[in-house]
Chains A and B, each alone.
Chain A
Amino acid sequence: MGDRKIKVETLTRVEGEGGLFIRMSGETIEEVRLEIYEPPRLFEALLRGRPLEDAPDITARICGICPVAYQMSSVHALESALEVTVSPEIRRLRRLLYCGEWIESHGLHMHLLHAPDFLGFESGLEMAKQFPEAVNRGLRLKKHGNQLVDLLGGRAIHPVNVCVGGFYRIPRRNEFQKLIPDFEWGLNAAMETTRWVAGFDFPEMVSDCEFVSLSHPDEYPMNEGVMKSSLGDVIEVEQYEEEFEERQVPHSTALQAFRKSTGRPYLLGPLSRINLNRDQLFPQARKLADEIGWEPVCRNPHKAIIARGLEIVHAYEEGLSILRDQHLAGKPRETYTPQAGTGKSATEAPRGTLYHRYEIDDQGKIVEACIVPPTSQNQAQIEVDLKHVVSESMGNEETELARKCENLVRAYDPCISCSTHFLKVTIDRH
């Protein structure tokens, strides 16, 4: 075998713009690149000099699929800088909002983007012709997630109700209660969906990656906790930038992330969250994990679709418990006086840990912002796993090998618009 090159110009059924490039020489893999060529939008620079109140609205625009994650990481980081503690009610409502986004984002990925790979369709819409029940169920689940974000956030994409200190307005109890029947149906439907995807035919694969996610003693991780690793380390969010570093690579508009202590990449997202926090799942989700035989540590990235299903079940269960809560009243937000300081926060976006740091001045203006999205952190690990797939499938012809690689990338649900806030640019003056 001589030199072979495999190029996928445009990855499909992923959020954002990226491609794949693989170069082999005989039996040696010379190069494997997940190419991210999404144009940069320079959010960290846009935030400079803005009032801190603008951060949740502006950072939401980094990603239309997971705007809640950006709003949550930004408000928590800024509240930390302002030394504001939100009430237990606001804390619960923020978890409820996240439940909505997880349901919507995971529902979209499972049914419209990922499942077609296992069943041999080019899209979820094509798949609907042969699997109308599964696709319609998936669309309904996704719709519930959107309805919840719509109610509590004001709209499903770029919610308007989130602010530093809490919410602009807390919806009325009867508005929450209206969602309960749908959520009761959805909880069962989510379990059916998870059983359905658990029955797919998964390619064999063992990734020896390090799993990393937030972790909390009392709850499944969403808005707070410490960083936990499958190597046994526990890292405070305050130490995030000391522990994880980002490096520049020529083929990507996103920086790639590594653990400083090991020099190796790591993996964030639903697979890591379930592997590290299974005991914190709500009862039905935990029981379902046992029923479908989820391993103590699942190392097959293709099975992330099952992890997403389990998380949807959890989000319905926890969502229901909050929707039924009789005590969701109180003042919508905490007030604060601007003060100079730095605040850091990490929350669990659907695709993994999203870290924000802000420095603010005593006028309440943003001096500096640092945003580290999950997909840019996963990129290096995705490339390691791609090498693994290529080495296992050397004998395949190009189209088949490209298909396998593309399927693997989709399993991580990369969110490419998110990942490109970092770019070293040359300015073309035309």
Chain B
Amino acid sequence: MSVGKPRLAVFKFASCDGCQLSLLDAEDQLLSVADALEIVYFPEATSRMEAGPYDISLIEGSITTPHDATRIQQIRRDSRFLMTIGACATSGGIQALRNGADSAEFMRSVYATPGYIEVLEHSTPIADHVAVDFELRGCPINQYQLIEVIQSLLAGRTPRTPGHSVCLDCKRRGTVCVTVAQGIACLGPVTQSGCNALCPSYNRGCYGCFGPASQINLVSLTSQMEQDGASRQEISNSLQNFNNNAPAFREESRRLQDRNGEPD
């Protein structure tokens, strides 16, 4: 880290702002974080706009324009520690749904006239463009995890962000399994923890905000869903969520699409 307080920058690409808002939503820690760091670039929160170098850069959003593909390269050069925050930055976001479509057709279907801005055919995660030092998952991220990572960086220790699945958190919370008890389809067994198993506690299935957990057996889950009566189209659709471009979800979703209509 540089002499004096570490310099923090927050950058936005194609996204909804929800993940950087998580930092402002950590009301109880916000002023102490602002005190421990120099927030030197964070357009949403401050008019102070200093050029790099930066000790910590938080990146929200996916790369969707040629201009942004260039901008991220410069940010990488300017940053000692670069961390992506949220599903857009770590997997391409909901807007990556256009990657699988015939995107020219996709665009034409919405926009009748040729335009003013160049847009890339695909929405891609930051790690497809530059080296990323740490990825924080979630749509949106968990503000406590964000504060934990920032604190661990300041203290020079490894961040504690679990990689297990949502299922484990349901057991911890004592939530009755919505699949077993009510037959509700749920991505909990294959989705990474981070939300404190939120959706099942509200009586609905997990829809995969935190993306695939490590070491999952996705085919086992989708086969079970088929046995429970869901169509391959419906299952594929459920994987086409805010992490549709995360490799595990993307490949299984495609496999199901390819087999759609085939006999079992």
Contact = CB atoms under 8 A, between A and B. Distances in A.
A54 B106 CA distance: 19
Contacts of A422: 111
B27 A142 contact: yes
B98 A155 contact: no
B22 A157 contact: yes
Contacts of A108: 21, 24
Interface in B68-105: 68, 93-95, 97-98, 103-104
Interface stretch (A6-14, A20-28, A383-391): A6-14
A93 interface: no
A429 interface: yes
Contact of B121 (A123, A140, A428): A428
Contacts of B107: 42, 45, 425, 427
Contacts of A38: 14
A317 to B, nearest CB: 22
A58 B199 CA distance: 15
Contact of A122 (B31, B47, B97, B234): B47
Nearest to B39: A125
Contact of B64 (A39, A122, A143, A163): A39
Given A39-B64, A64-B17, A428-B66, A123 B111 contact: no
B12 A17 contact: yes
- Determine the main DSSP class of B at the interface with A: mixed
B98 A45 contact: yes
Contacts of A248: 113
A204 B103 CA distance: 49
Interface residues of A, number: 71
B65 A39 contact: yes
A297 interface: no
Interface stretch (B161-169, B201-209, B255-263): B201-209
For A57, A123, A125, A422, which residue has the most chain B Cβ atoms within 10 angstroms?
Answer: A125
Interface string B202-245: 11100101000000000000000000000000100100001000
A323 to B, nearest CB: 19
A189 B49 CA distance: 32
B160 interface: no
A154 interface: yes
A250 interface: yes
B188 interface: no
A194 B139 CA distance: 33
B66 A430 contact: yes
B198 interface: yes
Contacts of B106: 42, 45
Contacts of B203: 168-169, 332
Contacts of A46: 94-95, 97-98
B115 interface: yes
Interface in B161-200: 195, 198-199
Contacts of B12: 16-17
B94 A58 contact: yes
A268 interface: no
A235 interface: no
B1 interface: no
A426 B68 CA distance: 15
B114 to A, nearest CB: 6
A161 interface: yes
Contact of B104 (A10, A135, A168, A427): A427
A136 to B, nearest CB: 8
A168 B204 contact: yes
Contacts of A160: 198-199, 202, 204, 207
Nearest to A406: B47
Interface string B106-121: 1101111111111111
Given A139-B30, A158-B140, A417 B15 contact: yes
12 contacts: A13-B46, A13-B47, A16-B12, A17-B43, A37-B117, A39-B13, A41-B123, A169-B203, A253-B116, A422-B111, A423-B115, A424-B112
10 cross-chain pairs, A with B, having the tightest CB-CB distances, nearest first: A64-B18, A424-B115, A123-B46, A122-B47, A41-B95, A157-B140, A64-B16, A39-B14, A428-B118, A12-B47
Given A146-B25, A155-B195, A425-B119, 10 more contacts: A12-B46, A41-B14, A41-B94, A62-B16, A64-B19, A146-B27, A157-B22, A158-B18, A424-B111, A428-B120
